[in-house]
Amino acid sequence: MTAQAQQPLIILGSPRSFTSLICAMLGQHPQAYGMPELNLFITDTLREMVDELSGYRQIQLHGLMRVVGHLYAGEQTMASVDMARRWILGRLSKRTTDIYYELCERVGPLRIVDKSPVYSLKREYLERLGEAFPDAYYLHLVRHPLTQGESIMKVAKGLMAILADSIDYDVEPPQVDPQISWFNMQENILDFLDHIPAERQLRLRGEEVLNDRRNGLSEICRWIGIKDSDTAIEAMMHPEESPFACLGPLGAHLGNDINFLRSPALRDGSIRLGDLDVELPWRNDGRGFNPEVVEMALELGYT
């Protein structure tokens, strides 16, 4: 790993914060390569990662298997899934960082755009990422905690929040409440970014990027130093052209948010902003946002 151009652009954000869509859009830039969720930095070695992602968490390997199939075989098929498994097995003793470097070399000179929301769950993940790529650029993509929470709760009856232990245990019975993970992840991200030079981090509200796409994309391009020509912007208006913007083959059908995979194209219409002074629709006790969530949201520019 030597070339500056191969330092990835990492999108940090909580789930359901437009990270899939905007990652796919940026990934269509002629100088970039949008990845599905690689999740590589959750462990030191690939063996540890495979061990950790067992059972229902196997789906978190889908992104890596799709990438390997596409890059090394030019296809995403059941045969390439088998091939990708062998690819992984042959590298079990390697550091996940080295696996990431290999992928960077493979797509070079294109720059990887990566969004793996799981990284924001734990500081150790982010620190591992920071050590691997000391010159990476970080796009902190935020979404209003109300609409983000509503979106989370629409996915499998709040399963994503449950898996992230976003549960209010102070009430009886405990209640699933996505604002908890929203806050924790934003806090992790902000703490991590405290140690990143200002010029290599950019915070944007996802709603504003998507409501003013061309200007939002142009701003990101200028920030990371890639061209923002009309051709480049037009390419980025077609996230559905990403090879990973669809359901994959049996055995690796995910690798990204399933709603995005089912409907990856940009849609017309503006995205509404939420309100911080509301009764939370996913709770049945009439409570609103916790004070620290409100404070955080205000800091992020929401009202």
Partner 1 sequence: MMDPHEKRLRAMDPATKPGLSLNNFRRVCENGFGDGHNSFAHSMAWFKDQLYIGTTRSNFQMIKIQTTFQNLPLPMWPVEGPDDAEGLYRELDRHSQIWRYTPQEKQWDQVFRAPAVMGIHEARDAVARETGYRAMLVYQGESDPEEALYVATWAVSRSPGALLLRSSDGEEYRPVSPWGIISGLPVTATRVLVPFKGKLFTSPTGTRGYDTKFMINVSGNPIIYENADPGDGQGIWTQVCEPGFGEEGNKGIFMLCPFNDYLYAGTFNNEGFQVWKSRCEGKPPYQWTKVLEQGASRGGLNQIVATMKVFNGALYIGSAIQNGGHDLSLNLGPAGSELIRLHPDDSWDLLIGGTRDTPQGRKIPLAGIPAGFGNIFNGYFWSMEEHDGWLYLGTMDSTIWMRYLKVDSYPDDVRDIVKRVGPESMVRSDGGCDLWRSADGVNWLPITKVGFDNHYNLGIRNMVSTPHGLFLATANPFGPRVAVERDGEWVYTDNPRGGLEIWLGSHDHSADVDRDESAPGAV
β-strand partners of 177 = none
301 forms part of the interface with partner 1 (CB under 8 A): no
CA–CA gap between residue 187 and residue 130 (Å, rounded) = 16
User: What is the closest distance, in whole angstroms, from the C-beta atom of residue 249 to partner 1 in the complex?
Assistant: 9
Question: How many angstroms separate the CA atoms of 51 and 119, rounded?
Answer: 17
Examine residue 90 and tell whether it contacts partner 1 (CB under 8 A): yes
Site string for partner 1, 50-89 (x = CB under 8 A): --------------------xxxxxxxx-xx-xx--xx-x
Give the burial class of 201: count Cβ atoms within 10 A of its Cβ; 0-12 exposed, 13-18 middle, 19 or more buried: buried
Q: What is the DSSP letter of 151?
A: H
In the complex, the smallest distance separating the C-beta of residue 230 from partner 1, rounded to whole angstroms, is 15
CB closer to partner 1 out of 150 and 240 = 240
Interface with partner 1 includes 241 (CB under 8 A)?
yes
The amino acid at 204: L
Rounded least distance, CB 1 to partner 1, Å:
16
Q: How far is the CB of 87 from partner 1 (least distance, A)?
A: 6
Nearer residue to partner 1 within complex by CB, 177 or 228: 228
244: contact with partner 1 by CB under 8 A: yes
Answer yes or no: are the C-beta atoms of 96 and 61 closer than 8 Å.
no
The count of residues interacting with partner 1 (CB under 8 A) is 33
Q: What is the DSSP string of 159-182?
A: HHHHHTT-EETTSSS-EE-HHHHH
Q: Does 247 bind partner 1 (CB under 8 A)?
A: yes
* The three-state (H, E, C) secondary structure of 213-250, written as one string: HHHHHHHHHHHHCCCCCHHHHHHHCCHHHCCCCCCCCC
Binding residues for partner 1 (CB under 8 A): 28, 30, 33, 70-77, 79-80, 82-83, 86-87, 89-90, 106-108, 110, 238, 240-248
